[in-house]
Amino acid sequence: MNIFNNFDLYSLIYWVPAIILALTMHEYAHARMAYAFGDPTAKDAGRLTLNPLAHLDPIGTLMLVFAHFGWAKPVPINPYYFQGDRGQKIMLVSVAGPLSNILQALVGSVLLSLLVHFTISGQSKLWQLLFSFLFSYININIVLAVFNLLPVPPLDGSKILASLLPERHMNIVFALERYGFIILIALMFLGVLSLIITPIVTVLFSGLLHLVGLGELARLFFG
Protein backbone atom coordinates (compact mmCIF):
# COMPACT_ATOMS: atom_id res chain seq x y z
CA MET A 1 0.00 0.00 0.00
CA ASN A 2 1.36 3.42 -0.95
CA ILE A 3 0.90 5.54 2.15
CA PHE A 4 1.26 8.75 0.11
CA ASN A 5 -1.60 7.84 -2.24
CA ASN A 6 -3.94 10.79 -2.93
CA PHE A 7 -1.94 13.02 -0.57
CA ASP A 8 -1.00 16.63 -1.30
CA LEU A 9 0.02 19.62 0.78
CA TYR A 10 -3.21 21.52 0.13
CA SER A 11 -5.21 18.72 1.79
CA LEU A 12 -3.41 19.47 5.08
CA ILE A 13 -5.50 22.65 5.38
CA TYR A 14 -8.66 20.64 6.01
CA TRP A 15 -7.35 17.15 6.75
CA VAL A 16 -5.27 17.99 9.83
CA PRO A 17 -8.00 19.97 11.69
CA ALA A 18 -10.45 17.15 10.95
CA ILE A 19 -8.02 14.58 12.37
CA ILE A 20 -7.30 16.63 15.49
CA LEU A 21 -10.98 17.16 16.25
CA ALA A 22 -11.92 13.51 15.64
CA LEU A 23 -9.07 12.14 17.77
CA THR A 24 -9.62 14.62 20.60
CA MET A 25 -13.32 13.82 20.91
CA HIS A 26 -12.57 10.08 20.76
CA GLU A 27 -10.11 10.17 23.64
CA TYR A 28 -12.16 12.64 25.65
CA ALA A 29 -15.15 10.28 25.41
CA HIS A 30 -13.05 7.46 26.92
CA ALA A 31 -11.84 9.69 29.74
CA ARG A 32 -15.31 11.09 30.47
CA MET A 33 -16.93 7.66 30.60
CA ALA A 34 -14.24 6.25 32.90
CA TYR A 35 -14.58 9.26 35.21
CA ALA A 36 -18.36 8.81 35.26
CA PHE A 37 -17.78 5.28 36.56
CA GLY A 38 -15.57 6.56 39.38
CA ASP A 39 -12.10 6.16 37.85
CA PRO A 40 -10.02 9.35 38.29
CA THR A 41 -6.95 7.94 36.48
CA ALA A 42 -7.52 9.77 33.19
CA LYS A 43 -8.40 13.01 34.97
CA ASP A 44 -5.28 12.81 37.13
CA ALA A 45 -3.23 12.24 33.96
CA GLY A 46 -4.65 15.41 32.41
CA ARG A 47 -6.71 13.54 29.84
CA LEU A 48 -10.19 14.72 30.89
CA THR A 49 -9.82 17.71 28.57
CA LEU A 50 -10.66 18.88 25.06
CA ASN A 51 -7.12 20.19 24.62
CA PRO A 52 -5.77 18.23 21.61
CA LEU A 53 -2.19 18.40 22.88
CA ALA A 54 -3.12 16.13 25.77
CA HIS A 55 -4.32 13.37 23.44
CA LEU A 56 -2.30 13.38 20.21
CA ASP A 57 0.29 10.68 19.64
CA PRO A 58 2.94 11.98 17.18
CA ILE A 59 3.34 8.71 15.28
CA GLY A 60 -0.36 7.86 15.31
CA THR A 61 -1.30 11.32 14.06
CA LEU A 62 1.26 11.18 11.24
CA MET A 63 -0.06 7.76 10.27
CA LEU A 64 -3.53 9.23 9.96
CA VAL A 65 -2.25 12.09 7.82
CA PHE A 66 -0.25 9.92 5.44
CA ALA A 67 -1.73 6.42 5.68
CA HIS A 68 -5.31 7.23 6.72
CA PHE A 69 -4.95 4.80 9.63
CA GLY A 70 -3.81 6.02 13.02
CA TRP A 71 -4.38 6.51 16.71
CA ALA A 72 -4.03 8.86 19.67
CA LYS A 73 -2.41 8.23 23.04
CA PRO A 74 -4.44 5.58 24.88
CA VAL A 75 -6.41 6.96 27.82
CA PRO A 76 -5.20 5.31 31.06
CA ILE A 77 -7.90 3.63 33.12
CA ASN A 78 -7.88 1.56 36.29
CA PRO A 79 -10.78 -0.92 36.24
CA TYR A 80 -10.37 -1.57 39.96
CA TYR A 81 -12.12 1.74 40.61
CA PHE A 82 -15.23 0.44 38.85
CA GLN A 83 -18.04 -0.74 41.08
CA GLY A 84 -20.33 -3.60 40.11
CA ASP A 85 -19.83 -5.44 36.83
CA ARG A 86 -16.24 -4.50 36.00
CA GLY A 87 -16.27 -6.18 32.60
CA GLN A 88 -19.37 -4.29 31.53
CA LYS A 89 -17.86 -0.96 32.52
CA ILE A 90 -14.61 -1.73 30.67
CA MET A 91 -16.72 -2.44 27.60
CA LEU A 92 -18.69 0.81 27.93
CA VAL A 93 -15.52 2.88 28.40
CA SER A 94 -14.02 1.18 25.34
CA VAL A 95 -17.16 1.67 23.22
CA ALA A 96 -17.35 5.38 24.14
CA GLY A 97 -14.51 6.35 21.79
CA PRO A 98 -15.78 4.67 18.59
CA LEU A 99 -19.33 5.75 19.45
CA SER A 100 -18.17 9.37 19.64
CA ASN A 101 -16.69 8.97 16.15
CA ILE A 102 -19.94 7.56 14.78
CA LEU A 103 -21.86 10.49 16.27
CA GLN A 104 -19.32 12.94 14.85
CA ALA A 105 -19.65 11.33 11.42
CA LEU A 106 -23.44 11.69 11.65
CA VAL A 107 -23.19 15.36 12.64
CA GLY A 108 -20.68 15.94 9.85
CA SER A 109 -23.03 14.30 7.35
CA VAL A 110 -25.92 16.53 8.40
CA LEU A 111 -23.73 19.64 8.09
CA LEU A 112 -22.50 18.49 4.68
CA SER A 113 -26.10 17.99 3.54
CA LEU A 114 -27.00 21.51 4.69
CA LEU A 115 -23.97 22.91 2.88
CA VAL A 116 -24.87 21.15 -0.39
CA HIS A 117 -28.61 21.79 -0.32
CA PHE A 118 -28.79 25.32 1.08
CA THR A 119 -25.77 27.13 -0.35
CA ILE A 120 -24.54 27.98 -3.83
CA SER A 121 -22.23 25.07 -4.41
CA GLY A 122 -18.75 25.13 -5.83
CA GLN A 123 -18.58 28.85 -6.56
CA SER A 124 -16.08 29.92 -3.93
CA LYS A 125 -12.85 28.69 -2.38
CA LEU A 126 -14.50 28.86 1.05
CA TRP A 127 -17.33 26.56 -0.05
CA GLN A 128 -14.86 24.08 -1.50
CA LEU A 129 -12.79 24.20 1.68
CA LEU A 130 -15.83 23.62 3.89
CA PHE A 131 -16.94 20.75 1.64
CA SER A 132 -13.49 19.16 1.76
CA PHE A 133 -13.27 19.58 5.54
CA LEU A 134 -16.69 18.02 6.20
CA PHE A 135 -16.14 15.19 3.73
CA SER A 136 -12.76 14.43 5.30
CA TYR A 137 -14.18 14.77 8.81
CA ILE A 138 -16.86 12.17 8.08
CA ASN A 139 -14.32 9.85 6.48
CA ILE A 140 -11.82 10.14 9.34
CA ASN A 141 -14.44 9.49 11.99
CA ILE A 142 -15.77 6.41 10.23
CA VAL A 143 -12.22 5.10 9.75
CA LEU A 144 -11.42 5.71 13.43
CA ALA A 145 -14.61 3.96 14.57
CA VAL A 146 -14.04 0.90 12.39
CA PHE A 147 -10.28 0.76 13.03
CA ASN A 148 -10.62 1.02 16.80
CA LEU A 149 -13.27 -1.71 16.92
CA LEU A 150 -10.82 -4.26 15.53
CA PRO A 151 -10.04 -6.86 18.24
CA VAL A 152 -6.31 -6.14 18.11
CA PRO A 153 -4.50 -4.87 21.23
CA PRO A 154 -4.33 -2.06 22.20
CA LEU A 155 -7.36 -0.97 20.16
CA ASP A 156 -10.77 -0.54 21.78
CA GLY A 157 -12.04 -3.71 20.11
CA SER A 158 -9.56 -5.81 22.08
CA LYS A 159 -10.84 -4.34 25.35
CA ILE A 160 -14.44 -4.98 24.30
CA LEU A 161 -13.45 -8.58 23.53
CA ALA A 162 -11.62 -8.87 26.86
CA SER A 163 -14.65 -7.57 28.76
CA LEU A 164 -16.72 -10.43 27.36
CA LEU A 165 -14.25 -13.06 28.54
CA PRO A 166 -13.74 -14.58 32.01
CA GLU A 167 -11.28 -12.51 34.04
CA ARG A 168 -8.41 -15.00 33.66
CA HIS A 169 -8.69 -14.74 29.87
CA MET A 170 -9.23 -10.98 30.05
CA ASN A 171 -5.76 -10.56 31.51
CA ILE A 172 -4.23 -12.47 28.57
CA VAL A 173 -5.72 -9.99 26.11
CA PHE A 174 -4.45 -7.05 28.15
CA ALA A 175 -0.97 -8.63 28.36
CA LEU A 176 -0.76 -8.60 24.55
CA GLU A 177 -0.96 -4.79 24.50
CA ARG A 178 2.82 -4.49 24.78
CA TYR A 179 3.06 -6.00 21.30
CA GLY A 180 0.13 -4.04 19.88
CA PHE A 181 2.14 -1.42 18.00
CA ILE A 182 4.22 -4.07 16.23
CA ILE A 183 1.10 -6.04 15.33
CA LEU A 184 -0.65 -2.96 13.91
CA ILE A 185 2.33 -1.87 11.82
CA ALA A 186 2.74 -5.41 10.44
CA LEU A 187 -0.96 -5.65 9.56
CA MET A 188 -0.84 -2.26 7.85
CA PHE A 189 2.17 -2.99 5.65
CA LEU A 190 0.82 -6.44 4.78
CA GLY A 191 -2.34 -4.73 3.54
CA VAL A 192 -4.57 -6.57 5.99
CA LEU A 193 -5.92 -3.40 7.62
CA SER A 194 -6.89 -1.88 4.28
CA LEU A 195 -8.47 -5.15 3.16
CA ILE A 196 -10.68 -5.26 6.26
CA ILE A 197 -11.40 -1.59 6.84
CA THR A 198 -11.91 -0.13 3.36
CA PRO A 199 -15.06 -2.11 2.41
CA ILE A 200 -16.70 -1.41 5.78
CA VAL A 201 -15.86 2.31 5.62
CA THR A 202 -17.22 2.51 2.07
CA VAL A 203 -20.54 0.93 3.06
CA LEU A 204 -20.93 3.12 6.17
CA PHE A 205 -19.90 6.33 4.40
CA SER A 206 -22.24 5.67 1.50
CA GLY A 207 -25.04 4.75 3.88
CA LEU A 208 -24.62 7.97 5.87
CA LEU A 209 -24.70 10.08 2.72
CA HIS A 210 -27.89 8.37 1.58
CA LEU A 211 -29.37 8.87 5.05
CA VAL A 212 -28.93 12.66 4.88
CA GLY A 213 -30.18 12.98 1.31
CA LEU A 214 -26.84 12.94 -0.48
CA GLY A 215 -27.38 9.77 -2.48
CA GLU A 216 -26.11 11.37 -5.69
CA LEU A 217 -22.89 12.33 -3.95
CA ALA A 218 -22.56 8.78 -2.59
CA ARG A 219 -22.96 7.33 -6.08
CA LEU A 220 -20.39 9.79 -7.43
CA PHE A 221 -17.74 8.76 -4.90
CA PHE A 222 -18.61 5.12 -4.20
CA GLY A 223 -20.54 3.99 -7.28
Q: What is the pLDDT of residue 145?
A: 95
Amino acid at site 160: I
Model pTM? 0.88
Alpha carbon of residue 133 to chain centroid? 16
Reading the chain (223 residues) residue by residue, the pLDDT tens digits are 333 344 567 788 888 899 899 999 999 999 999 999 999 999 999 999 999 999 988 887 777 677 666 678 889 999 899 998 888 999 999 999 999 999 999 999 999 999 999 887 666 888 999 999 999 999 999 999 999 999 888 889 988 888 887 766 666 666 677 777 788 778 878 888 889 999 999 999 999 999 999 999 999 999 8
Q: What is the pLDDT of residue 39?
A: 96
Q: What is the pLDDT of residue 3?
A: 33
Q: Which residues are catalytic?
A: 27
Are 161 and 153 a contacting pair, CB within 8 Å? no
